[in-house]
Amino acid sequence: MSFIGQSKRLDDVDIGQIAKLIGCGEDELHAFMDVEAAGSGFDKLGRPKMLFEPHIFYRQLPEALRSKAVRLGLAYKKGGSKPYPKDSYPRLAEAMKIDANGALRSASWGLGQILGLNHRMAGYSTALEMVQAFMADEENHLRAMVSFIVTAGIDDDLRAHRWDMVARVYNGPNYAKHNYHGRMRRAFEKWQKIRDTPLP
């Protein structure tokens, strides 16, 4: 797979319209997108932004395949064991040769950096289906992010700007180490000073 589809960018009006689905404003969603993917769901080649997680891949693999992935440096037990490469796609391609579905489930994708194994929370039947939708349009990234937020039960925390709770659930127990809650708060405060896009 080239992972290059139509690569359609969000229209400004999409953000406000999707935010209305969960009763928040566009500033809350902007804060998420800024922190998770620097405000863009595609890389410079038009592929969905993606981070392959070898420690997740390790857990996805059956014992018979795990040793090969470890030997090739594609899987290891503990997150943070080794630095991430600048571009995760070559690593993903090698991992897919071992277990394509497991590899797609072991990467974080798009504007919301949704882990492939959480595809159902994002509204998709499989990780591949989610990735293909993300290849087409950033609007799909944002709708998936909102679906995840609702399914995870943090939409009320988002509306109330309880950033520590949002980050704890969305980014995991080590959220404070990376200051996800503080970065979301600062991004939200930045967008509060910028005029919203008028809705039709």
- What are 14-37's pLDDT values in tens digits? 999 999 999 999 999 999 999 999
Claim to verify: residue 175 and residue 89 sit in the same structural domain: no
For the entire predicted model, the pTM comes to 0.95
Question: SS3 string of 72-141?
Answer: CCCCCCCCCCCCCCCCCHHHHHHHHHHCHHHHHHCEEECCCCEEHHHCCCCCCCCHHHHHHHHHHEHHHH
Count of structural domains, the chain? 2
Domain assignment present for residue 5? The answer is: no
Amino acid at 129: E
Looking at 109, 124, 139, which one is the last position of a domain? 109
Residue-averaged pLDDT of the chain: 96
For 86, the domain range is 50-109
Domain assignment present for residue 6? The answer is: no
Claim to verify: residue 188 and residue 91 sit in the same structural domain: no
Claim to verify: residue 27 and residue 115 sit in the same structural domain: yes
First to last CA, the chain: 38
Question: Which percentage of the chain shows pLDDT scores above 90?
Answer: 93
Claim to verify: residue 63 and residue 22 sit in the same structural domain: no
pLDDT for the residue 82: 82
Render pLDDT for 86-119 as a digit per residue (tens, 0 to 9). 999 999 999 999 999 999 999 999 999 999 999 9
Render pLDDT for 55-95 as a digit per residue (tens, 0 to 9). 999 999 999 999 999 999 999 998 877 888 999 999 999 99
Claim to verify: residue 99 and residue 170 sit in the same structural domain: no
Domain assignment present for residue 1? The answer is: no
Claim to verify: residue 169 and residue 70 sit in the same structural domain: no
Domain assignment present for residue 145? The answer is: yes
pLDDT for the residue 38: 95
CB atoms near residue 52 (< 10 Å):
25
Claim to verify: residue 97 and residue 141 sit in the same structural domain: no
Q: Which residue has the higher pLDDT, 109 or 199?
A: 109
Q: The tokens 């944002």 sit on which residue? A: 142
Looking at 109, 134, 149, which one is the last position of a domain? 109
Question: Do the beta carbons of residue 78 and residue 102 sit within 8 Å?
Answer: no
pLDDT for the residue 176: 96
Claim to verify: residue 88 and residue 178 sit in the same structural domain: no
Distances (CA, A) of 172 to 4, 13, 20, 66: 29, 30, 26, 25
Claim to verify: residue 42 and residue 115 sit in the same structural domain: yes
Claim to verify: residue 17 and residue 67 sit in the same structural domain: no
Domain assignment present for residue 181? The answer is: yes
Looking at 66, 86, 109, which one is the last position of a domain? 109
pLDDT for the residue 200: 86
Domain assignment present for residue 199? The answer is: no
Claim to verify: residue 172 and residue 89 sit in the same structural domain: no
Claim to verify: residue 58 and residue 146 sit in the same structural domain: no
pLDDT for the residue 196: 94
The model's confidence at residue 157, banded by pLDDT at 50, 70 and 90, is very high
Whether pLDDT at 7 is above 90: yes
